[in-house]
């Protein structure tokens, strides 16, 4: 299986005669393989190890990442146009009230996200991941395109913000099935040894989508006058959702179901899948609540940071620090590009050192660096704000990179999509999507423009506590799935290692005093 990697035990403490292949296994991999070998009462055979062909793997990861990019371009554009949308749909309010009203509409989409997760999650576990992901793609495109054609308050009065709210709720409902499904799909396709790296491409797509949305809004702000932006310019990014949705739908319809969904590992898993068709939600709450809480804690850490940087920071600069929208957008765009550069390297790092160390170091750094980062963002000049945004973006990349590999690994195949839909969306609705609204309200109520930093420190503390209960899943086969490898050679190596591990375990069991 390779050389020493995350969880590797020191050779000095090992028993004499430990096979080299067994000694080189990360601790968590050794424990999981041993558990499976004990259950099977034999070493792995050819049919026990799933090989994912490279072309199929590239298509699955690429289509998921590109589809996610398009979906989050649609969803993210709203963040960058929050101040303008507030003026179009809430013209009678004060500037602060306009921003808060706009972010309240933004947050409303997150209220229905858990409902989307409850609907799409069980469907994904029963009818397949691919079908549900195609459906969420259509709904997001329709909801976003609708925002672009809604008349403003000056034209249809109170009906304008009501229609805006409805369109946002369609977006939120579709997104409730998106991230949990996409992460489940990519994780189930990825070879165990490279799941962190390959899954990080999903969030790579997310931040490319954010960056493209930010770049488009920045270009519009630079090319158009304020009057043109208020009149029609703000609609352009939303209208692009139509053709993007068609492209994303085509790509997702070309995908095949994940190997883990196509075949359950054993009869127990099949029985669980059949049982879950009738009472999946109750089963998740009753049997998987510890994993659900860990999932929610990590999602809180990731998404509070995410929506602080991508959702609130542009408005914080324009409305609180009174900078131009162009400079604010360029600054956030710089952070998004930096995340895109870092994220796959951090995903690969999580395969080597483990998911827990990446989360823990970044959460601790968040507690220490949140206030200095915002002091830099507030400072005059060009480089201090850039440095502050880059620090926050680096921490965000550390939370994003391992998430798509870590969260699906918390749950077995039969309930993975639904459990992800519940845990992810409840946490995002309660803490992530409300971050711009709550932070804007706190700054307005207290007059303290460091409130965003304090909010991030709290998220870092919760994340650090959560990591204590997070099982290490780097290089470990997914619960309820066969071991996944990327080539026939890797399969032969794993089968050989399993034989040595099984023989060693039997030898130890037969040794007196063991």
| Angle 442-448-451 from CA coordinates, rounded to 5° | 55
Q: Is residue 159 part of a domain?
A: yes
pLDDT band at 16 (very low <50, low <70, confident <90, very high): low
Query: If you average pLDDT over residues 233-254, what whole number do you get?
Result: 82
Is a pLDDT exceeding 80 seen at residue 196? yes
Alpha helices in 379-434 (DSSP H): 383-406, 416-427
Tell me phi and psi for residue 51, to 5 degrees: -100, 125
Question: Virtual CA dihedral for 90, 96, 101, 103, nearest 10 degrees?
Answer: 130
Helix, strand, coil shares of the chain, percent, nearest 5, are 80, 0, 20
Lookup: tokens for 11: 């050779």
Element housing 485 (H / E): strand 484-485
CA atoms of 115 and 421, how far apart (whole Å) = 9
The pLDDT score that the predictor gives to residue 377 is: 94
Lookup: tokens for 250: 């085509």
CA atoms of 85 and 234, how far apart (whole Å) = 8
Q: What one-character-per-residue DSSP string does 316-367 give?
A: IIIIIS---HHHHHHHHHHHHHHHHHHHHHHHHHHHHH-HHHHHHHHHHHHH
Lookup: tokens for 467: 């990591």
Range name among 96-100, 172-176, 411-415, 484-488 with the lowest pLDDT average:
96-100
Which CATH number does the domain housing residue 321 bear? 1.20.1250.20
Q: Is residue 18 part of a domain?
A: no
The pLDDT score that the predictor gives to residue 386 is: 95
Alpha helices in 41-128 (DSSP H): 54-80, 82-89, 95-111, 113-126
Tell me phi and psi for residue 412, to 5 degrees: -75, 160
Residue 512, helix vs strand vs coil:
coil
Q: Is residue 139 part of a domain?
A: yes
Output the pTM of the full model: 0.82
Alpha helices in 224-288 (DSSP H): 226-231, 236-239, 241-253, 259-262, 267-287
CA atoms of 474 and 478, how far apart (whole Å) = 10
Lookup: tokens for 198: 């390959």
Is a pLDDT exceeding 50 seen at residue 1? no
Handedness of CA 200, 205, 209, 215 (dihedral sign): positive
More confident residue, 223 or 94: 223
Q: How many domains does the chain have?
A: 1
CA atoms of 176 and 366, how far apart (whole Å) = 27
CA atoms of 490 and 164, how far apart (whole Å) = 52
Is a pLDDT exceeding 60 seen at residue 471? yes
CB neighbour burial string for 106-121, b if at least 16 within 10 angstroms, e if fewer? bbbbbbbbbbbbbbbb
Q: At what angle do helices 289-307 and 435-446 cross, to 10 degrees?
A: 60
Q: Is residue 438 part of a domain?
A: yes
| Angle 362-380-98 from CA coordinates, rounded to 5° | 80
9: which DSSP letter?
A: P
Is a pLDDT exceeding 70 seen at residue 510? no
Lookup: tokens for 309: 């940087």
Residue 232, helix vs strand vs coil:
coil
How far the first Cα of the chain sits from its last, in Å, is 26
Q: Which domain holds residue 82?
A: 50-274+287-489
Residue 51, helix vs strand vs coil:
strand
The pLDDT score that the predictor gives to residue 393 is: 96
Closest by CA to 357, choosing from 65, 34, 28, is 28
CA atoms of 219 and 148, how far apart (whole Å) = 18
The pLDDT score that the predictor gives to residue 15 is: 52
Q: Is residue 190 part of a domain?
A: yes
Q: Is residue 336 part of a domain?
A: yes
Q: What is the pLDDT of residues 249-308, one digit of tens each?
A: 777 777 766 665 555 434 444 444 444 444 667 888 888 899 999 999 999 999 999 989
Q: Is residue 497 part of a domain?
A: no
Query: Between the ranges 201-215, 250-264, 394-408, where is the mean pLDDT highest?
Result: 394-408
Is a pLDDT exceeding 50 seen at residue 407? yes
Q: Is residue 440 part of a domain?
A: yes
Residue 2, helix vs strand vs coil:
coil
The pLDDT score that the predictor gives to residue 186 is: 87
In contact, 1 and 485? CB cutoff 8 Å: no
Is a pLDDT exceeding 90 seen at residue 464? yes
In contact, 168 and 126? CB cutoff 8 Å: no
Q: What is the pLDDT of residues 357-376, one digit of tens each?
A: 999 999 999 999 999 999 99
CA atoms of 421 and 243, how far apart (whole Å) = 27
| Angle 336-303-374 from CA coordinates, rounded to 5° | 60
The pLDDT score that the predictor gives to residue 258 is: 62
């Amino acid at each position: 299986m390779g050389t020493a990697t995350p969880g590797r035990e020191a050779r000095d403490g090992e028993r004499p005669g430990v096979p080299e292949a067994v000694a080189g296994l990360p601790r968590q991999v050794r424990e999981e393989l041993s558990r499976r070998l004990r259950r099977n009462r034999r070493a792995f055979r050819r049919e026990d190890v799933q090989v994912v062909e490279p072309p199929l793997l590239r298509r699955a990861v690429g289509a998921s990442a590109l589809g996610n990019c398009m979906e989050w371009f649609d969803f993210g554009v709203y963040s960058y146009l929050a101040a303008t949308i507030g003026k179009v749909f809430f013209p009678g309010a004060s500037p602060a009230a306009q921003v808060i009203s706009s972010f309240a509409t933004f947050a409303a989409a997150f209220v229905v996200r858990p409902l989307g997760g409850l609907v799409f999650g069980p469907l994904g576990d029963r009818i397949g991941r691919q079908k549900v992901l195609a459906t969420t793609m259509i709904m997001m495109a329709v909801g976003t395109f609708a925002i672009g054609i809604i008349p403003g308050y000056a034209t249809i009065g109170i009906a304008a913000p009501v229609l805006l709210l409805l369109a946002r709720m369609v977006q939120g409902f579709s997104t409730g099935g998106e991230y949990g499904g996409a992460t489940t799909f990519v994780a189930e396709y990825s070879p165990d040894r490279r799941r962190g790296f390959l899954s990080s491409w999903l969030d790579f797509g997310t931040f490319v989508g954010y960056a493209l949305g930010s770049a488009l809004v920045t270009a519009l702000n630079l090319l158009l006058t304020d009057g043109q932006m208020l009149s029609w310019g703000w609609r352009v990014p939303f209208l692009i959702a139509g053709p993007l949705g068609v492209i994303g739908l085509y790509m997702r319809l070309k995908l095949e179901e994940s190997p883990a969904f196509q075949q359950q590992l054993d009869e127990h898993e099949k029985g669980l899948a059949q049982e879950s068709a009738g009472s999946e939600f109750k089963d998740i709450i009753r049997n998987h609540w510890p994993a659900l809480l860990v999932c929610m804690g990590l999602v809180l850490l990731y998404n509070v940071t995410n929506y602080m940087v991508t959702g609130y920071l542009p408005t914080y600069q324009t409305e609180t620090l009174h900078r131009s929208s162009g400079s604010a957008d360029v600054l956030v765009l710089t952070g998004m590009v930096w995340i895109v550069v870092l994220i796959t390297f951090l995903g690969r790092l999580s395969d080597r050192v483990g998911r827990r160390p990446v989360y823990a170091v970044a959460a601790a750094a968040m507690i220490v660096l949140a206030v200095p980062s915002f002091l830099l963002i507030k400072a005059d000049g060009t480089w201090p704000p850039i440095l502050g945004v880059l620090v926050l973006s680096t921490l965000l990349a550390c939370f994003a990179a391992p998430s798509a590999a870590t969260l699906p690994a918390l749950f077995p195949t039969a309930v993975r999509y639904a459990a992800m839909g519940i845990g992810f969306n409840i946490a995002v609705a309660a803490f992530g999507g409300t971050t711009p609204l709550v932070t804007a309200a706190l700054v307005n109520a207290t007059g303290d423009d460091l409130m965003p930093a304090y909010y991030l420190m709290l998220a870092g503390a919760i994340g650090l506590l959560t990591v204590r209960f997070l099982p290490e899943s780097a290089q470990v086969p997914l619960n309820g799935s066969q071991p996944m490898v990327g080539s026939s050679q890797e399969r032969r190596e794993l089968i050989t290692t399993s034989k040595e591990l099984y023989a060693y375990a039997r030898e130890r069991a037969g040794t007196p005093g063991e």
